[in-house]
Structure 1
Amino acid sequence: MCLPMTQIVRRFLVYWITGCACFGSVSGAPAKWLVLGPMLGHVSESEAAIWVKASEPASLAVKVSTRSDLSNSRTIRGAALKPETDAAGVIRMGDLSPNQTYHYSILLDGKEALHPPYPSFKTPPAATAGTGRLRFCFVSCSGYQPYEPAAGWADIATRTNMDLILMLGDNHYANSSDKAAQRKAYLGQRSSPGFLAATRSIPVYGIWDDHDFGPNDSDGSLPGKDMALSAFLEHWANPGAGERENPGIYFKFSRGDVEFFCLDGRYHRSPNRSPVTPEKTMLGARQLEWFKESLTASKARIKVLVSGSEWQSYGTPDSWTSFARERDDLFQFIDHKGIQGVILISGDRHFTAAYQVQGRFIEVTSGPIGGNASDSRVTPEMFINHNKGRFYCIYDIDTSGSEPRLTLEIYQIGTGLVTHRSFTWDEICGRTRIPSLPSPTPSPKP
């Protein structure tokens, strides 16, 4: 059921205002409250993570129950919210059951920080259940001002039939690695009522791109990139971030027959305009090795490769176009290993488009959710192009049949569904060419 946008926002504002007002201490001590969140992070068959930011440091716990009134709840205690993380943190719940709806409330210093009706989430079915259906939303490019993505998130909040949300970078525009600037930008972006309403119950995962890592077109030479990484880790409830000996934000996770490989295209990146040598890299040697190992080991029928930068062959310098040697090595590895069911998604560009990269891999670039739209040049690989307005995308993946099917839905904010396109298994695997858009006819010379 899709509730009207105004009703979603109104319900949330009533809840938020009431919640902030109701939890004072009997002793007269100032109440602690949630400045941001709760934001649901990674959810698996047996675990769930929730991110919050409090008004000040506090102990953190969650009450979780299969009943909407929390009458049979259990309390799980997490690590305290500390000054060094600006009272932000993640609490993780275990021992959950597959395919089960859970309701929850947040406790700060033992006092409830939420007000009924309590938010809820649903764990996915067991991997062996064979349900074969997944719907996920993906967005990028929030815009420079906190209000810019508000309408987009309010629209997303009305769509309750999504399993998860992926944020593909430029999730804020701090344009700095300074931690204070990063925190301020996250505060602005996440204060949108639509974002708060949507992400209380839909798992959300994030990677970064240049503007939420550092300045425009930032790379691994960025001064203070460790501070940018620290700020990122403060604000997400992803299932992982890099590796012990290789810092970064990359991670992977599975939902049924679909596996997501979420890449870090900034922390180890060579400058875009550096000479083309075997050492030039977007991912760094270890992340690329991890990526190949993970793809080889994957049993998923659909593998989603998630990048902040566009994969297409005719992109800007701040894309995989400047790292074609590394990208082509990866594509050749996929072909050599016979890995099928690979699809590509990306952000960064302030338009939404679809490509069949090298006539082989379907890529969808989603954006902007809030930033200003920009013109998109029709390229030989492009077969969908939307560059007037603000957009987000939903993929509907059905793996229940002998051949998985993929359906792309593109939504324009204020208009609704503008593209509905299904893909066959042969198109997904690159055995069938997708006709590209016609090149624009040059204007006649005067």
Structure 2
Amino acid sequence: MPPVGLGAAILFAGALACGLVANAEETADFHKPEAVTKIAFGSCFDPRDKVDTAFDGVLAQKPDVFVFLGDNIYGDTADMDVLRKKYAELEAVDGFRKVRETSTLLATWDDHDYGINDGGKSYSKRKESQQIFLDFFKDPADSPRRKREGVYASYTFGPVGKRCQILLLDTRYFRDEIPRSKEKRKPRTVGWYRPVDDPSLTLLGETQWAWLERQLKVPADVRIIASSIQVLAVEKGMENWGNVPHEQRRLFELLRKHRADHTVAISGDVHFAELSKTQIGSYPFYDMTSSGLSHTNRGWASADNSLRVGKSHFQRNAGLVEIDWEGKKLELAAVGEDGQKLFSHSVPFLELRFP
């Protein structure tokens, strides 16, 4: 697969060099005809940390696709000039530019690049921030993300039989404010959130939910759901899908309804790497978490997660999903700065099937 530059990575006639074209016959937002086997991902990168080795592990793996899951910069501002300057700092990072030049770069956001810590729909500059985000990641004027609120998007790669769908979710633009718990923090937790019992609170918003259900009808042989925050791990008190359990159940029910076989989640945010697993009926659903690219937290890595598979790892890392089309299996892994795997977990396609 030839290298794909950032400006070409996501669109249309003006980007024929990358071949990623919105096709009227596809219901995904974008399609690229070449099959992919390596999807790397990461989050939590602060250019101010000047960690020159942050992207070395990604580059060593030579991925077809790299997904930036959010906290791609640390903006945390309502001043859009400041936000643009923070993105310019990322642009100046040599490793980032190399990743952009040698793989298809996809991106969603989390709170710090959205503009405000733990922020949601009440952030006053969300529309302006979206435009700066899309400008930086070079979405053309006719990109679907230019025509709707939020930065969610869907991508398919490869022919039928080797088709991978990547669904980038937006957990910020429509998110209701989740109240912080007033209870004393429990041991082995690091945050202040607890599951809420108010079913009116939303994480994705109805427009994005409707889009997601349509996307689950798109034929795909492997699906990757990319969420900026963890989908499964709920005990550490940080932001996660479990804080709005009715939204988490809604996701599970959609996957079951549409028999979304061979589907896994990837996530970031927590400044360490871990793999989580739950059962949706008899379906084993995995969430592979990777962060951070520039800074991590040893203490947070020791927080409780009863769904964790194996151990957590606090070294700087990136995530990796490898698709073995011939062997019909997925490998979920975290990769260190030296390009070596900190851990990996193999799952046969046969196990990832809804009854």
CA change 1:406–1:187 in 2 (3 A) is same
User: What does residue 355 of structure 1 align with?
Assistant: 276
Q: Secondary structure of the equivalent of 2:202? A: coil
Alignment of 1:386-397 (within 5 A): 386-397=312-323
Alignment of 1:279-318 (within 5 A): 279-296=200-217, 298-315=218-235, 316-318=237-239
- What are structure 1's unaligned runs of at least 5 residues? 1-36, 49-91, 99-123, 432-446
2:139 and 2:146 in contact (8 A); partners too: no
- In 1, Cα distance between the equivalents of 2:90 and 2:109? 14
1:40 and 1:201 in contact (8 A); partners too: no
Counterpart code for 1:398? D
Q: Is 1:261 matched with 2:170? A: no
- In 1, Cα distance between the equivalents of 2:329 and 2:10? 24
CA change 1:214–1:125 in 2 (3 A) is closer
- What are structure 2's unaligned runs of at least 5 residues? 21-30, 181-195
- Aligned pair partner of 1:147 in 29, 47, 50: 50
User: What does residue 72 of structure 1 align with?
Assistant: none
Q: Which protein has greater RCO, CA pairs closer than 8 Å, 6+ apart?
A: 2
- In 2, Cα distance between the equivalents of 1:241 and 1:365? 27
Alignment of 1:23-422 (within 5 A): 39-42=6-9, 92-94=14-16, 126=33, 133-143=36-46, 145-148=48-51, 150-160=52-62, 162-238=63-139, 240-242=143-145, 244=147, 246-256=148-158, 257-273=163-179, 276-296=197-217, 298-315=218-235, 316-358=237-279, 360-374=284-298, 375-376=300-301, 377-400=303-326, 404-414=328-338, 416-422=340-346
2:60 and 2:338 in contact (8 A); partners too: no
**CA radius of gyration, larger in:** 1
Tell me how many residue pairs correspond in the alignment. Answer: 315
Shift of 1:38: 6.2
Shift of 1:154: 3.2
Counterpart code for 1:42? A
2:47 and 2:89 in contact (8 A); partners too: no
1:377-414 Cα shifts (integer Å, max 9, x gaps): 2422110333332011221112346xx31012321224
CA change 1:384–1:181 in 2 (3 A) is farther
2:315 and 2:336 in contact (8 A); partners too: yes
Q: Secondary structure of the equivalent of 1:259? A: strand
Q: CA RMSD in A?
A: 2.7
Q: Secondary structure of the equivalent of 1:212? A: helix
Counterpart code for 1:385? K
User: What does residue 70 of structure 1 align with?
Assistant: none
- In 2, Cα distance between the equivalents of 1:158 and 1:95? 24
1:225-257 Cα shifts (integer Å, max 9, x gaps): 11211211111135845474x411011010121
1:399 and 1:405 in contact (8 A); partners too: yes
- In 2, Cα distance between the equivalents of 1:241 and 1:147? 34
1:41 and 1:236 in contact (8 A); partners too: no
1:154 and 1:193 in contact (8 A); partners too: no
**Between structures 1 and 2, the one with greater strand share:** 1
TM-score by length of 2: 0.80
CA change 1:273–1:219 in 2 (3 A) is same
Shift of 1:428: 2.9
1:311 and 1:321 in contact (8 A); partners too: yes
Identity of paired residues, percent? 21
- In 2, Cα distance between the equivalents of 1:299 and 1:365? 25
CA change 1:164–1:337 in 2 (3 A) is closer
TM-score by length of 1: 0.65
- In 2, Cα distance between the equivalents of 1:283 and 1:187? 29
1:128-187 Cα shifts (integer Å, max 9, x gaps): xxx6x5111100100362513x21213433443x11100000000011242111111111
CA change 1:178–1:358 in 2 (3 A) is farther
- In 2, Cα distance between the equivalents of 1:183 and 1:156? 25
User: What does residue 87 of structure 1 align with?
Assistant: none
After the TM superposition, which of the residue ranges 231-240 and 324-333 deviates more from structure 2? Answer: 231-240
1:356 and 1:381 in contact (8 A); partners too: yes
User: What does residue 121 of structure 1 align with?
Assistant: none
2:47 and 2:93 in contact (8 A); partners too: no
Counterpart code for 2:40? C
